[in-house]
Copies of this chain bind each other. A is one copy, B any other.
Amino acid sequence: MLSKKTRYAIKALLAMGKNFGKEPMQISRIATEENIPKKFLEQILLDLRNAGLLYSKKGAGGGYGLIKNPNEIFLVQVLRITGGPIALLPCVSLNFYQRCEECIDEGTCGIRDVFVDVRNASLKILMETSIANVMDREAALLSSKRDIQ
Tally of this chain's copies: 2
User: How far is B110's CA from A137's CA once the two chains are assembled, in angstroms?
Assistant: 5
Least CB distance, A8 to chain B, in whole angstroms: 7
A104 at the interface (CB under 8 A from B): yes
Chain A residues in contact with chain B, CB under 8 A? 1-2, 4, 7-8, 10-11, 14, 34-36, 75, 84-85, 87-90, 100-104, 107-111, 113-114, 117-118, 121-122, 124-126, 129, 133-138, 141-142, 145
16 residue pairs of the A-B complex, CB under 8 angstroms, read A1-B89, A2-B89, A11-B111, A14-B111, A88-B122, A108-B141, A108-B142, A109-B138, A110-B137, A113-B138, A114-B133, A117-B125, A118-B122, A118-B126, A121-B125, A122-B122
